[in-house]
Amino acid sequence: MASKTILRVCSDIRCMKVRGATNIACTALQVIKGARNKKELTEMIALLMKTRPTEPLMRNGLRYVAYNVQQNFDFKKSLNFWADRYMTMSKFALERIAEIGAKRIVNKARIMTHCHATTVASILAKAKEQYKDFEVYVCETRPRLQGRITAKELAGYGIKVSYIIDSAKQTYINDMDLVLVGADALTAEGNIINKVGTSELAILAREADVDFGVAAELLKFDPITARGHPEPIEERDPGEVWDKPPKGVKVRNPAFDLTKRDLIDFIVTEEGVLSPHNILSTAYEKYPWLRR
Ligand code: RI2
């Protein structure tokens, strides 16, 4: 029987009260620490796995804990140990990405971003700490307007921010030096899955000859994509787009889209700046347990 806490956390993730791959993974790993035995842990993991389909950072973490905890005798101690260990790996990866990515932010740069990504925000915060002067164009990101979270956070760091509606991307792309986005999933082919609208931004960047960079932890690599499965793309409630559409109008609401590797100039990871072609080998080298 699932406890109220796990049901509340699952509902918070589904309705996006808790959102963003890093936050979701961390919240999930934290809540499973409440399991009292293996059976409860298995039930909790099954519920969390069903919350949002495009979340390999969470799925990898839950699988990592489930696999390792099995082999230990003191259940509680071992559960805390493995959950904390995954969260530490994720935190360390984020810190490395901030340090490495900040080097790609040059003085006076104009950068466009989409949605809210912890990785991108950390890179820009680090570059600002290094006294770099740059400006960020933030796309609104319909329908949930996560661009506002980014705009507010960056402005709080003292970064110059311009906030634009999604359809104004093309208007400003020629003024940009760099497009930098996060990712929810990295695939075996070197493609990335990120907030819907990202692939359009990549196409615009290519056309305008602006570098298109991604910042993502290798822990977001989804091993199912190496076994022939496509990364699932979440389709959310149409009411987020139009609550009462007229009769006969079907509203579609995909949360993410896939950006092809050929449109990606570089991916900032905890192992350095990589070409999309090296994602699979580097992810398996860094985290061999992802192969299981
Ligand atoms: P962190 C978001 O999805 C965006 O797609 C964004 O790029 C990604 O999660 C960021 O993940 P949503 O949860 O960089 O707002 O925070 O649908 O790990």
Residue nearest to atom 12 of ligand 1 (CA): 20
Most ligand 1 atoms within 8 A of CB, residue of 116, 120, 192, 198 to mutate: 116
Residue nearest to atom 2 of ligand 1 (CA): 20
Pairing of strands 160-164, 135-139: parallel
Does the Cβ of 150 fall within 6 Å of ligand 1?
no
Does the Cβ of 54 fall within 6 Å of ligand 1?
no
Does the Cβ of 119 fall within 6 Å of ligand 1?
yes
By C-alpha distance, which of 57, 54, 198, 181 is closest to 116? 181
What separation in Å is there between the alpha carbon of 238 and the centre of ligand 1? 19
What separation in Å is there between the alpha carbon of 21 and the centre of ligand 1? 5
Rounded Cα–Cα distance for residues 122 and 2 (Å):
35
- Other C-beta atoms closer than 10 Å to the C-beta of 279 total 28
Q: Assess whether pLDDT exceeds 70 at residue 1.
A: no
The pLDDT of residue 70: 76
Residue nearest to atom 15 of ligand 1 (CA): 20
User: Helix 21-31 vs helix 75-102: angle between axes, to the nearest 10 degrees?
Assistant: 160
Residues that are catalytic? 115, 184
Residue nearest to atom 9 of ligand 1 (CA): 20
The pLDDT of residue 109: 98
Does the Cβ of 21 fall within 6 Å of ligand 1?
yes
Average pLDDT over residues 2-23: 95
Tell me the pTM: 0.96
**pLDDT bracket for residue 202 (50, 70, 90):** very high
Q: Which residue stretches of 103-238 are H helix?
A: 118-129, 147-156, 169-173, 198-208
The pLDDT of residue 260: 98
By C-alpha distance, which of 101, 139, 134 is closest to 120? 101
Does the Cβ of 114 fall within 6 Å of ligand 1?
no
By C-alpha distance, which of 86, 76, 131, 113 is closest to 194? 113
**pLDDT bracket for residue 73 (50, 70, 90):** confident
Does the Cβ of 236 fall within 6 Å of ligand 1?
no
**pLDDT bracket for residue 224 (50, 70, 90):** very high
Average pLDDT over residues 214-228: 98
What separation in Å is there between the alpha carbon of 194 and the centre of ligand 1? 7
Average pLDDT over residues 221-233: 97
Average pLDDT over residues 230-243: 98
Does the Cβ of 141 fall within 6 Å of ligand 1?
no
The pLDDT of residue 23: 96
Question: Closest ligand 1 atom, CA of 119?
Answer: 14
Question: Closest ligand 1 atom, CA of 25?
Answer: 18
Does the Cβ of 222 fall within 6 Å of ligand 1?
no
- Residue 244 carries which DSSP code? S
Mean predicted lDDT score pLDDT of the chain = 97
